[in-house]
């Protein structure tokens, strides 16, 4: 312990507060700086494929368990890769069988995303993952529930982050563009 304190004093004397690699020993960032760092695009964490219901994954890149769930739901490679509907697509969550719900769960789906895409959920009631997705899409607590101009476009015109965020809510390309 004394040796590490001595080493720190020596480094501080010759190098200031930074170590030879340019990193500070102590975290002196303000709360606001930490907040900005968390949402800075360069440092923004991406969502897991399951968080996005594997909607942006090609059939060949689906993990075996997810591909099996898709097959059990009626998807083929052609249907999956081309956003084609299957029988479960038109059902409400309450109409799904237990097996269908289990397979959808493997893909990351749950009732609120399936039925309402969180559109009827108050900001304060959004799960943390969906709040993160909302922020990535451009929403704040103040504008949640409003139509954002940045999202008023076809699916193909959304940027990667916007697509990922919308998938977290339960949007698919077919539902977004209104052909499902």
Instruction: Encode 39-70: b = buried (16+ Cβ within 10 Å), e = exposed.
Output: eeeeeeeebebebbbbbebebeebeeebbebb
Looking at the domain assignment, is residue 118 inside a domain? Answer: yes
What are the per-10-residue average pLDDT scores of the chain (180 residues)?
Answer: 48 45 42 45 68 95 96 97 93 98 97 96 96 95 93 94 95 87
d(CA 73, CA 12): 62
Q: What is the pTM of this model?
A: 0.73
Looking at the domain assignment, is residue 20 inside a domain? Answer: no
How confident is the model at residue 92, as a pLDDT? Answer: 97
From its phi and psi, is residue 151 left (phi > 0), alpha (psi between -120 and 50) or beta? alpha
How many separate domains does the chain show? 1
How confident is the model at residue 180, as a pLDDT? Answer: 61
Owning domain of residue 117:
59-177
Looking at the domain assignment, is residue 99 inside a domain? Answer: yes
pLDDT digit string, tens, across residues 163-172: 999 999 999 9
Looking at the domain assignment, is residue 49 inside a domain? Answer: no
- The secondary structure of residue 46, as a DSSP letter, is P
Looking at the domain assignment, is residue 144 inside a domain? Answer: yes
Looking at the domain assignment, is residue 122 inside a domain? Answer: yes
Closest CA to 25 of 43, 3, 5, 45: 5
Looking at the domain assignment, is residue 16 inside a domain? Answer: no
How confident is the model at residue 6, as a pLDDT? Answer: 45
Looking at the domain assignment, is residue 90 inside a domain? Answer: yes
What DSSP string runs through 88-127?
GGGS-GGGS-HHHHHHHHHTT--HHHHHTTTTTS-GGGS-
Other Cβ atoms less than 10 A from the Cβ of 38: the count is: 12
């Amino acid at each position: 312990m004394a040796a590490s304190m001595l080493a720190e004093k020596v480094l501080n004397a010759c190098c200031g507060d930074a170590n030879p690699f340019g990193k500070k020993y102590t975290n002196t960032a303000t709360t606001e700086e930490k907040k900005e760092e968390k949402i800075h695009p360069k440092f923004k964490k991406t969502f897991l494929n399951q968080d996005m219901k594997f909607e942006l994954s090609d059939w060949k890149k689906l993990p075996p368990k997810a591909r099996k769930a898709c097959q059990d739901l009626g998807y083929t490679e052609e249907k999956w890769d081309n956003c084609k509907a299957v029988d479960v697509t038109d059902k409400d969550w309450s109409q799904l069988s237990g097996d269908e719900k289990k397979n959808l769960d493997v893909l990351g789906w749950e009732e609120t995303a399936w039925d309402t895409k969180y559109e009827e959920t108050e900001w304060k009631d959004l799960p943390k993952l969906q709040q993160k997705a909302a922020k990535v899409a451009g929403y704040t607590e103040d504008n949640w529930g409003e139509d954002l101009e940045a999202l008023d476009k076809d699916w193909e015109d959304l940027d990667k982050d916007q697509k990922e965020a919308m998938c977290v809510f339960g949007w698919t390309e077919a539902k977004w563009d209104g052909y499902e």
